[in-house]
Amino acid sequence: MSGRFVRLAEQGRATVSLTVDGVPIEALKGDTLMVALLTQGNALRQSEFDSGRRAGFCLMGACQDCWVWTRSGERLRACSNEVREGLDIVTTQPEAKWPLHG
Amino acid sequence: MATARIVIVGAGPAGIRCAETLVKAGFKPILIDENRRDGGQIYRRQPEGFTRDYSTLYGSEAAKARDLHDSFDRLRERIDYRPDTLVWNLIPKQLCCVSQGKHSTVDYDALILCTGATDRLMPIEGWQLAGTYSLGGAQIALKSQAVSIGHRVVFMGSGPLLYLVASQYLKAGANVAAVLDTSPLSKRIVALPKMLARPGVLLTGMKLLAQLYQAKIPVHLGIKPEQVLGDAASGVNGVRVRTAKGETLTVDCDAVALGYHLRPETQLADLAGCRMRFDEASGQWWLAVDEEGRTSVSGVYAAGDGAKIRGADAAEHAGRLVAMALLEDQQKPLDAGLRDEQRKALAVMDQFRLGLAQAFPWPAEQARALPDTAIVCRCEMISAGELRRTVSEKGACEVNRAKAFSRVGMGRCQGRYCSQAGAEVIAAAAGVSVQQVGRQRGQAPVKPLSMLTEEVSP
């Protein structure tokens, strides 16, 4: 699957380069991290409680389903943080995992 | 007491109209907002550099959105505006805030909570799959980022937002696979007299529906949601529902927008010790406020959907009214004529909201029918069966006790998207009313804080 989200308008913006899990990607200025990642992939992170992939839920900073991390370990809500040139994002939780459901 | 420190939390329609009224009376309130830009969720402003016009962005509400944004722009230099700031806790007369990783405190003499609402969710088997979004979230994707949440989107749930967002997607060129409403037509007919309190809004709603029919979008009323289909790795690939006629209907899609109207954000009011009350019409706990927005705690006020869910228009009126309540309590002069106007407008909206609650009811019975395997808490993958066992095996017939045993309500979202449905599951398992099982208490921090948060000395 290519992207989960589909751009419908506002596509004339300048591009911004960032890295996601070591792979360089291009996004548009003003994109949230969520839009940058989900126009090119189908999920944001791995659930820590089951085998499911997660792609956010509320987009208004209430559900916390869309956490991603900077390589230095800072946690970001992908729905409410915009892309910045040179950002280095990882989509796997740097902390230990505790699988409850296998 | 012109120096009273007045703090408003939330820069949506209620918060902005409240600030405006206070500025006119000679105050300079602090306006704290978690978002980076004003407007709240409903009149959320697109990022700088985006070029869609008001009509494209806000449709029938364009004039209201522009008016609110213009009002805010005029106010901006006359208030102490603090965007991108989360109020994560409060103690008497002091708010605990965090902004860009830095903690600070803000003292107040009077606090006005305009904290708004989020989508109200009822779980369905498979709703944890990637590609299921809240209805409001689907709208934000379009409004704020000009994207669709999927290549083929199903809109499911109930309430006016269902038709609004589906028609906005249609207009923006997205592929709308179906609109699946749990409310049957009969409920809408019964509710008509109350909804006629606002004929213009009713007409707008009917126009949206007409647009969907005209575009030949399948619209099904009175459905029973059964399952979001898909797999853990790739996410959603369809939904299955039972139609009003009892037939099974499967719709292929890669995204589902799900929601049943709204629930209020009351955590800060709860931490302040404000009394709550059970609203029979919507079947949920609301903040107890008087007609003008005073809570049970002196000096703490509330307006907008965080106090009473009546929508954005009502929030503007309630924002002005709550400011006047504060002025009255501070023995300041106020415009009695303006106050009467707000009261009259709100009386009409109270009537209308009762109609909406009747036309698009919260589907409490779905929680009862939820299979044991269905996930209630999508944060931590806790099933309806596990929650029911806390009732049957541990006798936890109260929401907070059941939360302690099951962790439903303890995950990342802190119960925002599971605790109401969880309460219905507990009530059904215990054989009591949902009011009797209580409500989940607010806890600080009201949203997760980073361990990297730094203290800033005042």
CATH number of the domain enclosing B250? 3.50.50.60
Q: Could you tell me if B437 and B390 are in contact, meaning their C-beta atoms sit under 8 angstroms apart?
A: no
B273, pLDDT greater than 60 = yes
Residue that terminates a domain, selected from B356, B389, B416? B356
Measure CB to CB from residue A75 to each of B134, B380, B450 and give the nearest one.
B450
pLDDT-derived band of residue A96, with 50, 70 and 90 as boundaries? low
B103, pLDDT greater than 90 = yes
Q: What is the pLDDT of residue B24?
A: 97
A100, pLDDT greater than 70 = no
B252, pLDDT greater than 70 = yes
Which residue of A2, A46, A54, A59 is the best one to mutate when testing the B interface, meaning the one whose CB has the most B CBs within 10 A? A59
B281 and B294 assigned to the same domain: yes
Mean pLDDT value across residues B293-297? 98
pLDDT-derived band of residue B258, with 50, 70 and 90 as boundaries? very high
**Closest residue by Cα to residue B205 from B156, B153, B170, B167:** B167
* Separation between Cα atoms, residue A83 and residue B395, nearest integer Å: 49
Does residue B455 sit within a domain?
A: no
Mean pLDDT value across residues B67-88? 98
B57 and B89 assigned to the same domain: yes
A1, pLDDT greater than 60 = no
B272 and B230 assigned to the same domain: no
Measure B337 CA to nearest chain A CA, in Å. 37
Measure A23 CA to nearest chain B CA, in Å. 20
Q: In the numeric block, which tokens belong to residue B423? A: 């309460």
- Host domain of residue B389: 364-430
Cis amide leading into B361 (omega within 30)? no
Domains, chain A, in order of start with CATH, read 15-90 (3.10.20.440)
Mean of per-residue pLDDT scores for chain A: 91
CB atoms within 10 A of CB B68: 26
pLDDT-derived band of residue B153, with 50, 70 and 90 as boundaries? very high
Q: Could you tell me if B269 and B117 are in contact, meaning their C-beta atoms sit under 8 angstroms apart?
A: no
Does residue B458 sit within a domain?
A: no
Q: How many domains does chain B have?
A: 3
B208 and B95 assigned to the same domain: no
B130 and B253 assigned to the same domain: yes
Residues of A in contact with B452 (CB under 8 A): 74
Residue that terminates a domain, selected from B322, B356, B390? B356
Tell me how far apart the 2 most distant CA atoms of chain B are, in Å.
Answer: 66
pLDDT-derived band of residue B81, with 50, 70 and 90 as boundaries? very high
Instruction: Give the nearest chain B residue to A33 (CA atoms).
Output: B145
Q: Could you tell me if B125 and B228 are in contact, meaning their C-beta atoms sit under 8 angstroms apart?
A: yes
B215, pLDDT greater than 60 = yes
A99, pLDDT greater than 60 = no
Instruction: Give the nearest chain B residue to A76 (CA atoms).
Output: B450
Cis amide leading into B445 (omega within 30)? yes
Mean pLDDT value across residues B364-376? 97
Measure A18 CA to nearest chain B CA, in Å. 18
Does residue B206 sit within a domain?
A: yes
Which residue of B145, B266, B419 is the best one to mutate when testing the A interface, meaning the one whose CB has the most A CBs within 10 A? B145
Does residue B439 sit within a domain?
A: no
ipTM: 0.95
In the chain, the amino acid numbered B368 is: R
Mean pLDDT value across residues B27-46? 95
Instruction: Give the nearest chain A residue to B34 (CA atoms).
Output: A61
Q: In the numeric block, which tokens belong to residue B262? A: 């709204």
* Separation between Cα atoms, residue B365 and residue B283, nearest integer Å: 12
Does residue B448 sit within a domain?
A: no
Instruction: Give the nearest chain A residue to B117 (CA atoms).
Output: A62
B98 and B131 assigned to the same domain: no
Does residue B184 sit within a domain?
A: yes
B426, pLDDT greater than 50 = yes
In degrees, rounded to 5, the angle at the alpha carbon of residue B185 between the alpha carbons of residues B180 and B188 is 110
B6, pLDDT greater than 90 = yes
Mean of per-residue pLDDT scores for chain B: 96
Q: In the numeric block, which tokens belong to residue A34? A: 């969520």
B29, pLDDT greater than 90 = yes
Q: What is the pLDDT of residue A38?
A: 98
Whether residue B286 lies within 8 A of chain A, CB to CB, comes out as: no
B338 and B239 assigned to the same domain: no
What tens digit of pLDDT does each residue of B52-67 get? 999 999 998 999 999 9
What tens digit of pLDDT does each residue of B163-199 get? 999 999 999 999 999 999 999 999 999 999 999 999 9
Residue that terminates a domain, selected from B356, B388, B414? B356
pTM assigned to the model: 0.96
Measure A79 CA to nearest chain B CA, in Å. 9
Q: What is the pLDDT of residue B1?
A: 44
Q: Residue B328: which H helix or E strand, with range?
A: helix B312-329
Residue B381: which region, alpha, beta or left (left: phi > 0; alpha: psi -120 to 50)? Answer: left
pLDDT-derived band of residue B213, with 50, 70 and 90 as boundaries? very high
Residues of A in contact with B173 (CB under 8 A): 8-9
B313 and B418 assigned to the same domain: no
Residues of A in contact with B56 (CB under 8 A): 9
Gyration radius (Cα) of chain A, Å: 13
Which residue of A5, A58, A69 is the best one to mutate when testing the B interface, meaning the one whose CB has the most B CBs within 10 A? A58
Mean pLDDT value across residues B222-245? 97
Does residue B13 sit within a domain?
A: yes
Name residues whose C-beta falls within 8 Å of residue B27's C-beta, 6 or more positions apart in sequence.
B2, B4, B6
Residues of B in contact with A41 (CB under 8 A): none
Does residue B444 sit within a domain?
A: no
B255 and B267 assigned to the same domain: no
B131 and B235 assigned to the same domain: yes
A95, pLDDT greater than 90 = no
Orientation of helix B384-392 relative to helix B399-406, angle to 10°? 120
SS3 of B302, please?
A: strand
Least-confidence region, from A81-85, B223-227, B269-273, B452-456: B452-456
B11 and B106 assigned to the same domain: yes
Task: State what percent of residues in chain B have pLDDT above 70.
Answer: 99
* Separation between Cα atoms, residue B334 and residue B293, nearest integer Å: 16
Task: State what percent of residues in chain B have pLDDT above 90.
Answer: 96
